[in-house]
């Protein structure tokens, strides 16, 4: 059987990693170590690879994409400027953000959707997002991907991280990087290395995505009204808990008798550790999904023949650990569309707060405008060779409700990977900033 060239490179990479895991040789050295293979991590690894650095990317799942795939997000937000009058979506930036968005758009065969209030989003198929991420990384022989790898420790000497410790398919692996990009979503390596990390777990409510098939496609629009009415009745009767009313539709679904739905839970409290919250959330949400599906099939005409097709492997966690950086993105930076001479990423999504209601609280700023994130927001205050990307860079809780989306995560990941590679290769960070800003304007 002929092997796709990208897969052939992946097979070689796996062999190289396995060689490194033999007794007495359980270590890998690299210029740039990327933690997390979500949107930010993929962008960071590609950026560092293109800059000529030797890169290792660690991902805890057996697939790439982060929450885009593991939580089955279904839409990319933050790629396009808010615009309620234009006939087509306007990209917020050039460079890799636009490149990845265009590549994903071609792969899924979908056009951007205009949502309410002039917001635009790109719907995607979950497997396709992961395959595009795989294909992009497979183009670089200097990027090694290690799947099923969980980081459990980091060692700093002075202000530099010199080692990270992981389990790769239950085998100990030591990484010796020159620089690190933390795109873990929780600022994992930064925290393990002693950097100050802000716990943002309670800032936003998580959600669980699930899919129903064999839905009466001719009644989809009516069916959503029917769902809300019947769920309200069930809650009032005590047949279902009140949380079941917090159900919403993933934009772009509803065709061919398949609906992707999102059940939003209650935000975390501070009365117990986060790992306990996560465990309870996951178990509670899956039990509620089964109850909801059973109720809908028995009490609605639209969903009479429907059955549960899939449940996301992981909750969609909208907020987590964030570094305390050399600079901090603030609410007013987002809302005023503030630009910076050191800006290395553009954000255009409004503040989107998911709290105790069924719908988010949206705080908009000007149409066709964006804000910029300075490089120092990606740099921990007391670590010199670590860059944070995705939802774990330095930002206020409000600002992160905007900057956490996939489009902006791609941008901060690209910037972090570029800066990390430049630093590892002894090139000035000022030069990295200039390069990134030129790419954003292409």
SS3 of the chain: the string is: CCCCHHHHHHHHHHHHHHHHCCCCCCEEEEEEEEECCEHHHHHHHHHHHHCCCCEEEECCCCCCECHHHHCCCCEEECCECCCCCCCCCCECCCHHHHHHHHHHHHHHCCCCEECHHHCEEEECCHHHHHHHHHHHHCCCCCEEEECCEEEEEEEEECCEEEEEEEEECCEEEEEEEEEEEECCCCCHHHHHCCCCEEECCCCCCCEEEEEEECCCHHHHHHHHHHHHHHHHHHHHHCCCCHHHHCEEECCCCCCCCEEEEEEECCCCCCCCCHHHHHHHHHHHHHHHHHHHHHHHHHHCCCCCCCEEEEECCCCECCCCEEECECCCECHHHHHCCCCCCCEEEEECCCEEECCCCCCCEEECCCCCCCEEEEHHHHCECCCCCEEECHHHCCECHHHHHHHCCHHHHHHHHHHHHHHHHHHHCCCCHHHHHHHHHHHHCC
Domain that holds residue 300: 207-311
- pLDDT tens digits, one per residue of 67-93: 999 999 999 999 999 999 999 999 999
Residue 53 has pLDDT above 60, yes or no: yes
Are 30 and 137 in a shared domain?
Answer: yes
Kindly report, residue by residue over 195-242, the tens digit of the pLDDT.
999 998 889 999 999 999 988 877 666 667 788 888 888 999 898 999
The total domain count for the chain is 2
Q: Do 281 and 343 belong together in one domain?
A: no
What's the rounded mean pLDDT across residues 325-352? 98
123 with 225, same domain?
Answer: no
d(CA 172, CA 197): 26
How large a percentage of the chain has pLDDT more than 90?
75
Residues 231 and 107 in one domain: no
- The per-residue pLDDT of the chain, averaged, comes to 91
- What's the CA gap between 181 and 36, in Å, rounded? 9
Residue with tokens 């090139």: 427
Same domain? 187 vs 212: no
Domain stops at, among 279, 311, 343: 311
The reply to whether 120 and 38 lie within a common domain is: yes
Q: Are 157 and 236 found together in one domain?
A: no
Of the residues 311, 328, 362, the one at which a domain ends: 311
Residue 358 confidence (pLDDT): 73
Claim to verify: residue 88 and residue 25 sit in the same structural domain: yes
- Quick check: 10 pLDDT over 60? no
Regarding whether 88 and 45 lie in a shared domain, the answer is: yes
Is there a single domain that holds both residue 116 and residue 138? yes
3-state secondary structure 45-106: HHHHHHCCCCEEEECCCCCCECHHHHCCCCEEECCECCCCCCCCCCECCCHHHHHHHHHHHH
Calculate mean pLDDT across residues 411-420: 98
Q: Return the minimum-mean-pLDDT range out of 18-22, 197-201, 249-253, 293-297.
A: 18-22
Q: Which CATH number belongs to the domain containing residue 429 in this structure?
A: 3.50.50.60
Same domain as 211, residue 163 = no
Q: Which of 311, 338, 373 is the last residue of a domain?
A: 311
CA-closest candidate to residue 57, choices 142, 132, 153: 142
Q: Which residue has the higher pLDDT, 325 or 244?
A: 325
Confidence at 11, pLDDT banded by 50, 70, 90: very low
Lowest pLDDT segment from 17-31, 52-66, 86-100, 327-341:
17-31
Predicted model pTM? 0.92
Are 165 and 143 contained in the same domain? yes
User: Looking at residue 291, which CATH number applies to its domain?
Assistant: 3.30.70
What pLDDT is stored for residue 107 in this prediction? 97
């Amino acid at each position: 059987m002929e092997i796709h060239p990208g897969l052939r490179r992946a097979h070689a990479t796996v062999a190289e990693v396995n060689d490194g895991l033999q007794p007495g040789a359980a270590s890998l050295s690299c210029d740039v170590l990327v933690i997390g293979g979500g949107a930010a991590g993929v962008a960071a690894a590609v950026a560092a690879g293109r800059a000529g650095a030797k890169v290792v990317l660690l991902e805890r799942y057996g697939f790439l994409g982060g929450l885009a795939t593991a939580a089955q997000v279904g839409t990319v937000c933050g790629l396009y400027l808010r615009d309620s009058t234009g006939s087509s979506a306007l990209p917020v930036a050039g460079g890799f953000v636009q490149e990845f968005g265009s590549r994903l758009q071609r792969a899924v065969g979908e056009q951007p959707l205009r949502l309410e209030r002039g917001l635009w989003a790109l719907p995607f198929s979950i497997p396709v997002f992961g395959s595009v991420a795989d294909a992009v990384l497979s183009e670089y022989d200097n990027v090694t991907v290690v799947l099923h790898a969980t980081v459990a420790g980091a060692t700093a000497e002075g202000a530099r991280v010199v080692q990270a410790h992981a389990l790769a398919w239950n085998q100990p692996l030591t990484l010796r990087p020159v620089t690190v990009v933390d795109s873990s979503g929780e600022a994992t390596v930064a925290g393990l290395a002693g950097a100050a990390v802000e716990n943002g777990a309670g800032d936003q409510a998580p959600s669980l995505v699930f899919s129903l098939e064999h839905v009466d496609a001719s009644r989809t629009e009516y069916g959503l009204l029917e769902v809300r009415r019947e769920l309200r009745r069930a809650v009032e009767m005590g047949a279902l808990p009140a949380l079941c009313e917090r159900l919403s539709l993933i934009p772009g679904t509803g065709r061919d008798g398949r609906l992707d739905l999102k059940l939003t839970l209650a935000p975390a409290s501070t009365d117990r550790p986060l790992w306990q919250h996560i465990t309870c959330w996951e178990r509670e949400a899956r039990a509620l999904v089964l109850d909801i599906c059973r109720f809908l099939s028995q009490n609605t005409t639209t969903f009479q023949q429907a059955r549960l097709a899939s449940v996301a492997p992981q909750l969609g966690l909208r907020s987590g650990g964030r570094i305390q950086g050399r600079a901090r993105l603030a609410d007013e930076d987002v809302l005023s569309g503030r630009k910076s001479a050191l800006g290395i990423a553009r954000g255009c999504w409004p503040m989107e707060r998911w709290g105790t209601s069924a719908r988010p609280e949206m705080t908009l700023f000007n149409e066709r405008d964006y804000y910029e994130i300075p490089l120092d927001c990606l740099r921990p205050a007391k670590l010199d060779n670590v860059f944070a990307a995705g939802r774990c860079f330095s930002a206020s809780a409000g600002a992160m409700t905007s900057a956490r989306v996939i489009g902006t995560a791609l941008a901060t990941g690209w910037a972090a990977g570029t800066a990390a590679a430049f630093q590892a290769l002894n090139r000035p960070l000022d030069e990295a900033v200039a390069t990134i800003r030129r790419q954003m304007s292409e």
